[in-house]
Amino acid sequence: DPEEKILQYKIRVFCRIRPASRAEAAQGGAIVVEKIDEYSVTVETPRGPREFQFDKVFSAEASQEDLFHDTSLIQLAIDGYNVCVFAYGQTGSGKTFTMVGDKEQKNPGIIPRAFNAMFDIMRENSSKFSFKVSAYMLELYNDRLQDLFASQAGEAHVHTQSHGQARRVEIKRNRKGVVFAQGAETKEASSAQELYALFQQACANRHISATMNVESSRSHLIVGIMLESRNLTNGSVSSGKLSLVDLAGSERAAKTGAKDHQLKEANSINKSLSALGDVISALSAELPHVPYRNSKLTQYATRVKAITNNAQRNVESKEIAQLKEVIMKLRSGQSVEEEDV
C-alpha cells in the first residue's frame, strides 16, 4: 500500500533526471548522470564515478504522470494530514517543469495534477463528506514574503500599502503546531479550474529577473491549499493542508555573474536554501535544536518537524547519510551540483 509506505517514511527524496535539451545535445555535451536502478544514480566526477541513493529515481524518460503518481499525497491531505512537496535543483534543472509543467500545459506538472486529483477525490466522496477548499499563494523574494493574491488587486492596493495599512504576511504556528501564513489572503475554489485560474493569476505577479535568465525564477513560490472535510453522518470536521513549493534555482552567485540587486537575490536564495538544508540536517540527526528561525523559508518548513517527529526512528540511515552529504556541502559553501541532489 503506497500510503502506508508514505506514513512510514516521513521525508522522501526523489531524484529526477531531465533529458538533455536540444541546445545541450547540439553542443555535444556528455551525459554524466545515469540511473542504475529504481533507487540509485551514478554521477561522473573528476575523481571518477560516484553513486547516490534516493527513495526513488526517475530517468529522463519518466513522464509527468509517473512523477505525479509517486509523489501524490492528495488523499493524505484530504484525510487531514499536512503534506508538503517541493522541488530543489539548480536553474534549468526542471523544477518548474516538474511542479507546474510546460507553458502550453501539454505536459502539466504536479501542481495542476494535484488540483484535478483533489477535486476528483472530493467528487467521489461527496455522498459522505462535504468539502471546502481554500488557498493562499505566496512568493518569497529576498527573504520577504509577498502575497500573490493581494498584489493582484493592482494600483488601489499599492496605495493602501503606502499608507501603511497593508497586511503583513507572517509565518506563524498554531497550537497544534501547524504552520500558517498570517495575514495572507485566502481564496476559496469550488473546482480544479477555479483553483488553476487563481494559480495563474498568482504566477503573473511573480518577480522574474529579466536580464539574468528570462525563464529563471528568482524567488520561491509557495502554494498552500487548505482542505476541510465534514463528515455528513457524524458532523466531524478534519482539516489537512497541501503545500506545493517551487524553489528558486540553487546556483551560486559567482557562477551566474550576477551584479548588485541580482547578487542580493542570489545571496538571499542561497541563504534560505542552506537554512532549509540545516533544518533537514538537524531533523535527520535528531538534534535538540532545529534552526527554523534562520530564514522565512525554513519557518515555512517547520511542518516537516511535526511530520518527522513521529517517525524519525523509521527513517533509513542510508538516505539520511546521502542527504547529509549534500547539506554538508551546502553548509561549507561548496557548490551542490544538480547531480548531487
Q: Annotated binding residue at 209?
A: no
Residue 254: Cβ-neighbour burial (10 angstroms; 0-12, 13-18, 19+): exposed
Q: Which distant-in-sequence residues (6+ apart) come within 8 Å of 74 by Cβ?
A: 83, 114, 117, 118, 121, 242
- Residue type for 287, please? L
Q: What is the DSSP string of 73-117?
A: -HHHHHTT-EEEEEE--STTSSHHHHHTB-TTSSSB-HHHHHHHH
Contact mark string toward ligand ATP, 95..114, x via CB under 6 A = xxx----x------------
Query: Shortest Cβ distance from residue 104 to ligand ATP (Å)?
Result: 10
Q: Annotated binding residue at 240?
A: no
- Enter the DSSP assignment of 177: S
At which residue does the C-alpha cell 500558517 appear?
180
| Window 72 to 91, contacts with ligand ATP (CB under 6 A) | 89, 91
Q: Annotated binding residue at 94?
A: yes
Q: Which stretch binds ligand ATP (CB under 6 A): 115-123, 126-134, 210-218, 236-244?
A: 210-218
Compute the distance between CA of residue 260 and CA of residue 248 in angstroms, rounded to an integer. 18
The answer to whether 19 contacts ligand ATP (rule: CB under 6 A) is yes
The answer to whether 65 contacts ligand ATP (rule: CB under 6 A) is no
Contact mark string toward ligand ATP, 112..151, x via CB under 6 A = ----------------------------------------
Q: Annotated binding residue at 89?
A: yes
Handedness of CA 134, 140, 146, 149 (dihedral sign): negative
Compute the distance between CA of residue 10 and CA of residue 288 in angstroms, rounded to an integer. 18
Kindly tell me which of 265 and 319 has the beta carbon lying closer to ligand ATP. 265
The answer to whether 215 contacts ligand ATP (rule: CB under 6 A) is yes
Q: Which stretch binds ligand ATP (CB under 6 A): 93-101, 122-130, 188-196, 198-206?
A: 93-101
Q: Which stretch binds ligand ATP (CB under 6 A): 212-220, 283-291, 300-308, 324-332?
A: 212-220
Kindly tell me which of 13 and 320 has the beta carbon lying closer to ligand ATP. 13
Q: Annotated binding residue at 302?
A: no
Look at strands 40-45 and 48-53 and give their pairing: antiparallel
The answer to whether 24 contacts ligand ATP (rule: CB under 6 A) is no
Q: Annotated binding residue at 95?
A: yes
Compute the distance between CA of residue 99 and CA of residue 335 in angstroms, rounded to an integer. 23
Kindly tell me which of 90 and 229 has the beta carbon lying closer to ligand ATP. 90
Q: Annotated binding residue at 96?
A: yes
CA triple 299-15-44, angle to 5 deg? 120
Compute the distance between CA of residue 184 and CA of residue 222 in angstroms, rounded to an integer. 12
Query: Shortest Cβ distance from residue 94 to ligand ATP (Å)?
Result: 3
- Residue type for 285, please? A
The answer to whether 35 contacts ligand ATP (rule: CB under 6 A) is no
List, as residue ranges, the binding site for ATP: 89-96
Given the rule CB under 6 A, which residues bind ligand ATP? Answer: 18-19, 21, 89, 91-97, 102, 213, 215-217, 248-249
